[in-house]
Structure 1
Amino acid sequence: MSNLESCLIAIVLLCLVAKGQSKCTLNDLTIGTVRTGRTIQGKPEWTVTVTNECACAQSSIKVRCTGFKSVVPTNPSKILPLGGTCLINGGHPVGPGSTISFSYVWDPPFILLPASAIVGPGC
């Protein structure tokens, strides 16, 4: 096998490995909830951050949010309840390393877990 053929095979293998490593999973979506310190109508306010830790954009992000409610209206472009899941960021892409934040008022806090997402093209 010539050096050129060996180099081409090595490049193809590296591309396949790199492509496999960029595939996002639900584990690449982290969700943090912190109490803001504010109280509204006797219930605490919570700020939620959803962070995409993958090297690729993710869209149509949904989280499990059964029974989600808030004393004050939430921004539907940030979190939109759809039955047992909630759509994050209006379904729009969340870029690599980007965070979407929203607040709600309820007690106790809701445990929000990633349910589904679509990985951007080329990833």
Structure 2
Amino acid sequence: MAAIVKSYCIAILFLGLVTNGKELILWFCDCSFNDIGVGQVRSERLIQGKPEWNVTVTNNCSCFQVLITLACKGFQSVEYVEPSILFKQGDICMLNKGHRLDGHASIAFSYAWDPPFLLMPVNSTVICTVSGE
């Protein structure tokens, strides 16, 4: 096991030298889509007779994540949801047009429907970077 860790450290050091001080992308990380948290809170607003729900999606990892998708079976809303924030494709919704959500950052949107929808993370790509400077 110690030999494997030592090999990884040598590889990272070598890549840091090869990149000449540029940012180094590490494709191995302890984060996953399971580090995406989804919180929903009912606001006090009613829109067309439906309660409004404020949703916050948070990346609870120090690495950034891209191509975050949520299960959103049957999702609908009488309140407009900006497609650049949440884009429904069948029973899957793409968050933030697939763009990065930085580590420990959040993105929020609201929708109006009754009952609320269970929005669960189903996939993402985790990218960790180390600055060589």
Q: Which TM-score band (shorter chain)?
A: 0.7 to 0.9
Q: Which moved more, 1:20-29 or 1:52-61?
A: 20-29
Quote the offset at 1:20 in angstroms: 9.8
| Cα distance in structure 2, aligned partners of 1:90 and 1:21 | 24
Out of 41, 45, 52, which is 1:38 matched to?
45
Unpaired stretches in structure 1, ≥5 consecutive residues:
1-8
Q: TM-score, normalised by structure 1?
A: 0.81
Q: What is the Cα-based RMSD across aligned positions, in Å?
A: 2.5
Higher relative contact order (CA 8 A, sep 6+): 2
| Map of 2:107 onto structure 1 | 100
Q: TM-score, normalised by structure 2?
A: 0.76
| Cα distance in structure 2, aligned partners of 1:20 and 1:31 | 24
Kindly tell me the number of residue pairs found equivalent between the two proteins.
113
| Percent identity of paired positions between Structure 1 and Structure 2 | 43
| Cα distance in structure 1, aligned partners of 2:76 and 2:99 | 22
Unpaired stretches in structure 2, ≥5 consecutive residues:
11-25
Partner deviation per Cα, 1:37-90 (whole Å, 9 max, x = no partner) = 100111000011100011100000000001100002211011000101000011
